[in-house]
Each structure stands twice: as structure tokens, then as C-alpha cells.
Amino acid sequence: MAQATQNDSSEELSAVKADLKQLKTDMAALVSALKESGAQRASAVEDSALDAVHEAISTLNRRFEGIKTKAGAQAKDALDEAEQTVVRHPLATVAAAFGIGFVLAKLFDVGSRR
């Protein structure tokens, strides 16, 4: 009877060892799955962030192109208006240019003041 009890205990001990070994294997698999899941989530977040950055860059490029086009149109309009003023009033334009040049020459003429 003592032999049977010892065999039962031995079998139970072996079963517990086998269960612990299986538990260890299962835990390793679970940890691995959690790592993989975390990596996939991190990758998804990274992809989402990159998509947001690319969208922001695209939006900024579109705005920049719009501003550039508008600024170019305004510069062309200003140049056209200046040309029309010169054509309509050539003597006044020459006189204004001479006057502005004279004033600037006096402002920057520091050599003769000494």
C-alpha cells in the first residue's frame, strides 16, 4: 500500500511537473503573442502618424502653390499698372525718378559732409 501511495504521489508529481512545463510553454507563447501584437499596434500607429504627416505636407504644398500663384498675379498686376502709368505720364515719371534719385543721393552722400 505504501508503494501504491508512493506511485500515486510520483504520478501526481510528474503530472504537476508536466503541467508546469506546459504552463511555461503557454506563457512563453502568450508573451510572444503580446510582443507581436504590440509591435503591430506600434506599426499601425507609426503608419497612421506618417499618413497624417504626409497629408499635412500635401496641404501645406497646396496652400503654398496657391499663395505663390496669387503673389505672382499681384506682382504682374502691379508691374502692368506701373507700365501703364509710365505710358500715360512719361514726363511725370521721369521727373519723379529724378527727384527720388536726387533725394537718395543726398541721403547717402556722407563723404561731402565731413
Domain boundaries defined on the chain? 2-85
Q: What percent of the chain has pLDDT over 70?
A: 91
How far is the C-alpha of 61 from the C-alpha of 112, rounded, in Å?
52
CA distances in angstroms from 13 to 19, 21, 23, 27, 111, listed in the order given: 10, 12, 15, 21, 108
Residue 85 and residue 77 in contact, taking contact as beta carbons nearer than 8 Å? no
pLDDT of residue 65: 93
User: Is the model more confident about 67 or about 1?
Assistant: 67
Residue 95 and residue 102 in contact, taking contact as beta carbons nearer than 8 Å? no
How far is the C-alpha of 41 from the C-alpha of 36, rounded, in Å?
9
User: Is the model more confident about 83 or about 38?
Assistant: 83
- What mean pLDDT do residues 50-69 have? 93
Residue 22 and residue 15 in contact, taking contact as beta carbons nearer than 8 Å? no
pLDDT surpasses 70 at 113: no
pLDDT surpasses 60 at 6: yes
Digit-coded pLDDT (tens) for 82-110: 999 999 999 999 999 999 999 999 999 87
Residues 6+ apart with CB under 8 A from 85: 93
User: What pTM was computed for the model?
Assistant: 0.47
pLDDT of residue 98: 95
